[in-house]
Amino acid sequence: MVSAQARAEIDRMVAGRREAAARPSSPRTLEQDRRDWEAAARLTVLPKGARFQGVDAGGVKSEWMEMPPVNRDRVVLLLHGGGYSSGSPRTHRKLAANLSRAAFARVLTPDYRLAPEHPFPAGVKDALRAYGWLLDQGVAAGNVVVAGDSAGAGLALSMLVALRDAGAALPRAAVLMSAWTDLTTSSPSHGINRKLDVQVTRQGLREAGALYMDGRDPADPMASTLFAKLAGLPPLLLQVGGDEVLLDDSRLLAERARVAGVDATLRVFDSMWHVFQFHAPEVPEAQAAMNDIAAFIRAQFGD
For the chain, how many residues are written? 303
Choose, from 80, 92, 190, 274, the residue flagged as catalytic: 274
> Has 88 been annotated as catalytic?
no
Q: Which residues of 241-254 are buried (b: 16+ CB within 10 A; e: fewer)?
A: bebbbbbbbbbbbb
Strand order in the sheet with 264-269: 51-57, 60-66, 105-110, 71-79, 144-149, 173-177, 236-241, 264-269
Q: How far apart are CA 278 and CA 283, in angstroms?
A: 9
d(CA 111, CA 53): 13
Catalytic annotation on 117? no
The catalytic residue among 9, 63, 66, 244 is 244
Neighbours of 193 (CB within 10 A): 19
Query: How many angstroms separate the first and last alpha carbons of the chain?
Result: 32
The Cα 79–Cα 110 span in angstroms is 7
CB 237 within 8 A of CB 174: yes
**Do the Cβ atoms of 185 and 83 come closer than 8 Å?**
no
Tell me the H-state helices in the chain. Answer: 4-22, 30-42, 93-103, 122-136, 151-165, 189-192, 202-213, 247-259, 284-300
H/E stretch holding 248:
helix 247-259
**Residue 112 backbone dihedrals phi, psi, to 5 degrees:** -65, 155
Check if the beta carbon of residue 246 is closer than 8 Å to that of residue 200: yes
Q: Tell me, yes or no, if 92 is annotated catalytic.
A: no
Q: Contact at 8 Å (CB) between 194 and 257?
A: no
Which one is catalytic: 100, 150, 158, 178? 150
Catalytic annotation, residues: 150, 244, 274
